[in-house]
C-alpha cells in the first residue's frame, strides 16, 4: 500500500514540516551543522558482514506451481468507466483436503455504498479521503464449472459472511468437492463499474486505474481452509500464485500499463487490443489513459517502463533511476527480481489516490509537476517503497490482512536501507544545513505509538489510520533498524535470509523470527519477538554517576535504567575528567543496572547509546548525564542524525 502512512501527500506534508522545522532550528543547531559538515565523505556502503547467501538454489518463476490462474478478456468503456470481461479461472486444489466451496473476493463492491466494511472504517491518519463521488461495484453475471457442465453456480444474493451490508467476500458452494491435486476450470462473466478514483482504484476523467477488478479466489491454505476476508481499508492482498493471461481492449488512443509482459498489441478500427501475460504472480492490475507519455530503461536484464503524464519527464527520469538502483539493491539483498519487466505508472494529479500502490510487476507513484523539484527525495522514496513491495508481499507472499507489518513494515525498512545504500547516508533531505534520514523520520513518527497496539496486529485490529501507519510502517521499520544497530546488522541479514527462504511462499511472523534467530542469535530473536508481538517499549535513562576514591584510582558507579520492558542491549559511554572515554556494554536485562569501572579519574559524563543504534529508545533527552553543569555530552552533537532527531521531535505530530 501507500508509501508511509498517508502516501505521497502525507509524505510531502511530513517533509514540509521537516524542512520548516529545519529552518526554525537552523540557528540553534548551527554548531551541530558545522560539526556534521565535517564528517568525512565516504562512498555509500551497505554490505552486511559475511558473504551474501548463494543465489543459485533460489526459486525462479518456472519452479512455481500455479494454483489460481486467470485467463481474462476485458473491454474498457472509457465513457461509462465500466469493464466487461469474461474468461476462465483455473484452480488447482493444492491442499491436503477436498474443497467443497470457494471464496471469491469481489473487492469493487466495497464502493457500492457507505455501509461496506471498507467505507465504515475511518481512514483518518492514513490514505483514502472518504469522497467516492461515483460508486463502484462488480457484478458477476455467471460462474460455471466447465468440466462439470454446470450452469451458473454463483450465489447472486450472497453477502460477506455475517455482514449483510458487504458483498466483497462471497462463499460459492460447489456441486461436488474438488479433490486434492484436482484441477477445476471455472468460466466467468462479469462487469466491473469503476468508482471515481478516491481509494486506490477508479477513474479520473479518461485516466483509469483498474485494480482489484476481477472476481478473485481467496487464498487456499495447505489445510484446505480458505484465508478470506472482506475488502478492508488497511489490507487487501493475500493470494496463491498463478499464471495470468489478460487481453485488454481499450480505445485506440489509449496507452496501457499492466502486470506482465506485452504479448501482442493490435489496433482494430477505433480500438486497441493488448495482451499481457505473466507467470507466478498473485494479482493483475492495469492503468489505461490517453494522456500518457512513456520512457523506458533497461536495468540488469529488466525492462523498466514508466508511463507518466505528458510534461512530467523530470519525474519519470527520477523514478526510472530510483527503480534501476532499487532493483539492483533489493536483488542483491533479498534475491533477484524474477520477472522480465517492471512498469511504473505515474497517475495524473487528479488521480492521486491511485498513486503509491503496488501490484505484481506494476507500481504506481504520483505527485504533481512541482514534486520533482522539491529539495527532498520524495519520488525516490515513493519508487523505492513501492518497488520493495515486489519482494514484501509479491515474491514473499504474506497475508496482509493477518500481518500487515510483514508487508508495509518490511517494505518501509527496506526502503530506508535502499535509500541510504544507493543515495547516501541521511539522503532524504540533503540540502539543509543538516540532512535528514528516512530512518529518523520513521523513528519520530512512531514515538509513543507502542502502547496503542502490538505491531503484529491484524489489519482490522487498529483503532485508527494513524495507529496503523505509525505501528505497521514506522515502528516495524524502527524495530528492524534497532536489530541492525544492536545485533550487527541482523535486520538486513535476517530479511535477506527470510526473503530467500520464503521465495514464492507464504510465511508469517514465526518464519521471520526463525530467520532472525539464524542470522542474529537467540537474543536478537527474543528482542524481535517481544518488540513485534507486545506493547513493550524501551527508554534508557542515565540516573546516577558516583565516583569514590579507592587507593590511587577511582571506583566509578554509573546507574542506567530502562523504562519499559523491552529488553535490548545497549552501549554506554563514560568520559572521565581526563577526557578518557570508556565504553561498557549493558545486556539490557532487568530494569536497571549499575556499571562499575575503575579509572584514574572520576567519571564526569555518561552517554547511553553514543552511536544512536537503538532507534526504539523512546526518549533521547535523558540519554546523557553530566556532573559538569551545562556541558554537552561529548559526541552527542557530532551525529547529524541527532540534530535531525531533535528537529523532527519538535515537529512530529
Ligand atoms: Zn506500502
DSSP state of 160: B
Mean pLDDT, residues 604-623:
96
Rounded to whole angstroms, the Cα distance separating 458 from 230 reads 13
Ligand 1 centroid from CA 356, angstroms: 7
What is the predicted pLDDT for the residue at 556?
Answer: 97
Handedness of CA 454, 458, 459, 464 (dihedral sign): negative
pLDDT, greater one: 610 or 13? 610
Distance 128 CA to ligand 1 centre (A): 14
DSSP letters along 468-498, please? HIIIIIIIHHHHHHHHHHHTTSHHHHHHHHH
Look at residue 640 and tell me whether its pLDDT is greater than 50: no
- pLDDT band at 344; cut points 50, 70, 90: very high
Residues lying with their CB under 5 A of ligand 1, a single-atom ion: 1, 408
CA of 8 to the centre of ligand 1 (A): 11
Determine contact, residues 210/201, Cβ cutoff 8 Å. yes
pLDDT of residue 127: 57
Determine the distance separating the centroid of ligand 1 and the alpha carbon of 144, expressed in angstroms: 36
97 burial (CB, 10 Å; 0-12 / 13-18 / 19+) is middle
Q: Residue 509 above 90 pLDDT? A: yes
- Is the pLDDT at 309 greater than 90? The verdict is yes
Q: Tell me the CA–centroid distance for residue 308 and ligand 1, in Å.
A: 20
Rounded distance from Cα 380 to ligand 1 centre (Å):
14
- Ligand 1 mean position to 212 CA, how many Å? 16
CA–centroid distance, 119 to ligand 1, in Å, is 20
Instruction: Compute the distance from residue 145 Cα to the ligand 1 centre, in Å.
Output: 36
Question: How many angstroms does the Cα of residue 138 sit away from the middle of ligand 1?
Answer: 25
Q: Give the model's pLDDT for residue 57.
A: 78
Q: Contact, 303 vs 293, CB < 8 A?
A: no
384 CA to centre of ligand 1 in angstroms: 10
pLDDT at 432 over 70: no
Q: Is the pLDDT of residue 299 over 90?
A: yes
What's the gap in Å between 586 CA and the centre of ligand 1? 35
What separation in Å is there between the alpha carbon of 407 and the centre of ligand 1? 7
Report the candidate in 204, 208, 199, 203 with the shortest Cα–Cα distance to residue 236: 199
Q: Between 17 and 429, whose confidence is greater? A: 429
DSSP designation for 530: H
What pairs with residue 548 in β-bridges?
555
Q: How far is the CA of 244 from the centre of ligand 1 (A)?
A: 23
Q: Percent of the chain scored above 90 by pLDDT?
A: 79
Q: What is the DSSP string of 304-348?
A: EEEEEETT-HHHHHHHHHHHHHHHHHHHHHH----SSEEEEE---
Cα of 609 vs centre of ligand 1, distance in Å, is 30
Least confident residue range of 194-198, 204-208, 343-347, 493-497 = 194-198
Lowest-confidence pick of 15-29, 90-104, 290-304, 490-504: 15-29
pLDDT tens-place string over residues 76-111: 999 999 999 999 999 999 999 999 999 999 999 999
The stretch 294-318 carries a mean pLDDT of 97
**Domains of the chain by residue range:** 7-59+397-533, 65-375, 539-642
Question: What spacing in Å lies between the alpha carbon of 7 and ligand 1's midpoint?
Answer: 8
pLDDT digits (tens, 9 = 90+) for 125-153: 555 555 678 899 999 999 999 999 999 99
Return the residue matching grid coordinates 509482459. 261
The rounded distance, in Å, linking the Cα atoms of 300 and 319 is 16
What's the 176 CA to ligand 1 centre distance in angstroms? 40
Measured in Å, residue 474 CA sits from the centre of ligand 1 at: 11
- What ipTM score was computed for the predicted complex, to two decimals? 0.99
Count CA atoms within 13 Å of residue 349 on its CB side: 9
Query: What does the pLDDT read at residue 430?
Result: 65
Ligand 1 center to 593 CA (angstroms): 40
**C-alpha of residue 426 to centroid of ligand 1, in Å:** 21
Ligand 1 centroid–CA 357 distance in Å is 7
Tens of pLDDT, residues 445-459: 999 999 999 999 999
CA angle 408, 414, 416 (to 5 degrees): 105
CA of 3 to the centre of ligand 1 (A): 5
Whether 363 contacts 346, CB under 8 Å: no
Intrachain domains 7-59+397-533 and 65-375 with the same fold: no
Task: Check residue 530 and give its pLDDT.
Answer: 98
CATH architecture of 7-59+397-533: Orthogonal Bundle (1.10)
- Alpha carbon of 412 to ligand 1 centroid (Å): 7
Cell of 639: 551525529
Tell me the CA–centroid distance for residue 353 and ligand 1, in Å.
Answer: 13
pLDDT of residue 130: 58
Q: Residue 428 Cα, ligand 1 centroid: separation in angstroms?
A: 17
CA of 411 to the centre of ligand 1 (A): 6
pLDDT at residue 132, as a whole number: 77
Please give the distance, rounded to the nearest whole angstrom, from the Cα atom of residue 393 to the centre of ligand 1: 10
* 372 vs 641, residue with greater confidence: 372
Choose which CATH entry (2.40.50.140, 3.20.20.70, 1.10.4160.10, 2.60.40.1730) describes domain 65-375: 2.60.40.1730
CB atoms within 10 A of CB 365: 30
The predicted pLDDT at position 211 comes to 97
Report the separation in Å between the CA atom of 463 and the middle of ligand 1, taken as the mean of its atom positions: 19
Secondary element (H or E) of residue 109: none
pLDDT over threshold 80, residue 27: no
Residue 492 backbone dihedrals phi, psi, to 5 degrees: -70, -40
Residue 425's pLDDT is 74
Characterize 1-36 residue by residue with b for buried, 16 or more Cβ atoms within 10 angstroms of its Cβ, and e for exposed.
bbbbbbbbbbbbebbebbbebbeebeeebeebbebb
173 CA → ligand 1 middle, Å: 34
> Does residue 19 surpass a pLDDT of 60?
no
**Residue 608: all three cell numbers together:** 547511553
- Residue 426's Cβ-count burial label (10 Å; 0-12, 13-18, 19+) is buried
Q: How far is the CA of 501 from the centre of ligand 1 (A)?
A: 22
Q: Dig out the grid coordinates for 589 from the structure.
A: 536485562
How far does residue 127's CA lie from ligand 1's centre (Å)? 11
Residue whose entry in the numeric block shows the C-alpha cell 575528567 = 577
Q: How far is the CA of 163 from the centre of ligand 1 (A)?
A: 28
* Superfamily of 539-642 according to CATH: Immunoglobulins (2.60.40.10)
pLDDT tens profile 581-610: 999 999 999 999 999 999 999 999 999 999
Q: Cell 559524563 identifies what position? A: 605
Q: Ligand 1 mean position to 387 CA, how many Å?
A: 9
Mean local confidence (pLDDT), 164-170: 98
CA of 526 to the centre of ligand 1 (A): 26
C-alpha cell at 311: 510534461
CA 477 to chain centre: 9
The partner residues of 209 in beta bridges, in order of sequence, read 202, 287
Distance from the alpha carbon of residue 32 to the mean position of ligand 1, in angstroms: 33
pLDDT at 120: 87
User: If you ran DSSP here, which 8-state letter would residue 158 be given?
Assistant: -
Measured in Å, residue 392 CA sits from the centre of ligand 1 at 9
- Least confidently predicted of 238-247, 350-359, 479-488: 350-359
Whole-angstrom CA distances from 544 to 89, 549, 557, 564, 622 are 68, 17, 8, 18, 12
Say how many Å lie between the CA of residue 408 and the centre of ligand 1.
5
Give residue 541 CA to ligand 1 midpoint distance, Å.
34
Cα 103 to ligand 1 centroid, rounded to whole Å:
26
Question: How many whole angstroms from 4 Cα to the centroid of ligand 1?
Answer: 7
Distance from residue 409's CA to the centre of ligand 1 (Å):
8
Q: How far is the CA of 305 from the centre of ligand 1 (A)?
A: 20
Cell of 504: 514464492
Strand-pairing partners, residue 299, are: 302
Separation of 598 CA from ligand 1 center, angstroms?
A: 50
Grid coordinates belonging to 463: 483503532
Q: Report pLDDT digits (tens) over 532-559.
A: 999 999 999 999 999 999 999 999 999 9
Each residue's pLDDT tens digit, 366-376: 998 888 788 78
Cα 235 to ligand 1 centre (Å): 11
- The three cell numbers of residue 47 are 554490505
CA distances from 630 to 27, 190, 431, 633 (A): 19, 72, 31, 9
Do the beta carbons of residue 220 and residue 67 sit within 8 Å? yes
Amino acid at each position: 500500500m501507500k508509501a508511509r502512512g498517508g502516501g505521497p501527500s502525507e509524505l510531502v506534508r511530513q517533509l514540509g514540516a521537516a524542512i520548516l522545522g529545519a529552518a526554525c532550528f537552523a540557528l540553534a543547531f548551527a554548531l551541530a551543522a558545522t560539526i556534521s559538515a565535517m564528517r568525512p565523505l565516504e562512498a555509500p556502503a551497505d554490505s552486511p558482514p559475511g558473504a551474501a547467501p548463494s543465489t543459485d538454489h533460489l526459486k525462479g518463476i518456472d519452479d512455481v506451481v500455479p494454483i489460481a490462474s486467470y485467463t481474462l478478456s476485458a473491454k474498457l468503456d472509457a465513457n461509462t468507466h465500466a469493464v466487461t470481461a469474461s474468461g476462465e479461472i483455473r484452480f488447482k486444489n493444492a491442499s491436503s483436503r477436498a474443497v467443497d466451496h470457494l471464496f471469491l473476493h469481489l473487492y469493487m463492491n466495497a464502493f457500492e455504498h457507505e455501509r461496506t466494511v471498507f467505507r465504515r472504517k475511518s481512514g483518518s491518519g492514513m490514505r483514502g479521503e472518504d469522497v467516492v463521488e461515483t460508486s463502484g461495484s462488480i457484478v458477476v453475471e455467471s460462474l460455471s464449472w466447465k468440466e462439470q457442465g454446470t450452469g451458473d453456480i454463483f450465489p447472486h444474493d450472497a453477502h460477506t459472511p455475517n455482514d449483510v451490508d458487504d458483498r466483497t467476500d462471497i462463499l460459492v458452494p460447489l456441486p461436488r468437492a474438488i479433490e486434492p491435486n484436482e484441477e477445476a476450470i471455472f468460466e466467468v462473466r462479469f462487469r466491473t463499474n469503476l468508482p471515481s478514483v478516491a481509494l486506490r482504484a477508479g477513474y479520473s476523467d479518461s485516466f483509469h486505474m483498474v485494480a482489484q477488478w476481477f472476481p478473485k479466489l481467496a487464498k487456499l491454505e495447505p489445510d484446505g481452509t480458505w484465508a478470506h476476508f472482506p475488502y478492508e481499508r488497511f489490507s487487501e492482498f493475500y493470494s496463491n500464485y498463478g499464471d495470468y493471461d489478460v487481453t485488454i481492449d481499450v480505445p485506440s488512443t489509449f496507452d496501457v500499463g499492466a502486470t506482465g509482459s506485452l504479448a501482442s498489441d493490435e489496433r482494430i478500427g477505433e480500438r486497441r487490443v493488448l495482451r499481457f501475460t505473466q507467470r507466478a504472480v498473485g494479482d493483475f492490475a492495469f492503468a489505461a489513459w490517453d494522456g500518457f507519455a512513456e520512457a523506458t530503461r533497461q536495468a540488469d536484464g529488466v525492462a523498466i517502463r514508466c508511463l507518466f503524464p505528458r510534461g512530467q519527464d523530470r519525474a519519470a527520469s527520477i523514478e526510472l533511476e530510483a527503480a534501476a538502483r532499487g532493483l539492483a539493491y533489493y536483488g542483491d539483498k533479498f534475491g533477484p527480481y524474477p520477472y522480465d519487466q517492471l512498469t511504473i505508472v505515474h497517475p495524473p494529479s487528479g488521480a492521486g489516490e491511485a498513486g503509491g500502490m503496488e501490484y505484481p510487476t506494476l507500481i504506481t507513484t504520483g505527485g504533481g509537476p512541482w514534486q520533482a523539484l522539491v529539495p527532498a527525495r520524495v519520488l525516490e522514496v515513493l519508487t523505492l517503497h513501492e518497488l520493495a513491495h515486489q519482494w514484501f508481499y509479491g515474491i514473499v507472499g504474506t497475508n496482509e490482512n493477518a500481518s500487515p507489518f510483514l508487508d508495509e513494515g518490511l517494505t518501509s525498512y527496506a526502503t530506508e536501507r535502499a535509500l541510504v545504500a544507493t543515495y547516501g547516508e541521511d539522503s532524504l533531505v540533503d540540502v539543509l544545513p543538516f540532512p535528514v534520514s528516512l530512518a529518523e523520520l520513521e523513528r519520530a513518527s512512531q514515538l509513543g505509538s507502542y502502547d496503542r497496539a502490538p505491531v503484529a496486529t491484524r489489519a482490522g485490529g487498529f483503532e485508527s489510520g494513524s495507529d496503523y501507519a505509525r505501528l505497521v510502517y514506522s515502528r516495524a521499520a524502527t524495530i528492524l533498524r534497532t536489530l541492525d544497530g544492536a545485533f550487527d546488522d541482523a535486520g538486513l541479514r535476517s530479511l535477506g535470509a527470510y526473503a530467500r527462504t520464503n521465495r514464492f511462499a507464504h510465511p508469517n511472523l514465526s518464519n521471520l523470527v526463525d530467520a532472525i534467530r539464524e542470522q542474529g542469535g537467540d537474543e536478537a530473536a527474543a528482542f524481535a519477538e517481544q518488540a513485534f508481538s507486545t506493547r513493550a517499549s524501551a527508554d534508557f535513562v542515565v540516573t546516577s554517576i558516583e565516583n569514590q576514591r579507592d587507593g590511587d584510582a577511582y571506583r566509578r558507579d554509573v546507574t542506567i535504567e530502562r523504562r519499559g520492558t523491552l529488553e535490548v542491549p545497549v552501549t554506554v559511554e563514560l568520559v572521565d575528567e581526563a577526557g578518557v572515554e570508556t565504553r561498557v556494554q549493558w545486556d539490557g536485562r532487568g530494569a536497571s543496572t549499575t556499571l562499575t569501572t575503575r579509572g584514574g579519574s572520576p567519571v564526569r559524563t555518561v552517554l547511553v547509546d553514543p552511536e544512536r543504534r537503538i532507534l526504539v529508545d523512546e526518549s533521547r533527552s535523558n540519554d546523557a548525564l553530566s556532573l559538569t553543569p551545562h556541558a554537552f555530552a561529548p559526541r552527542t552533537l557530532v551525529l547529524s542524525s541527532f540534530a535531525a532527531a531533535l528537529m523532527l521531535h519538535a515537529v512530529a505530530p
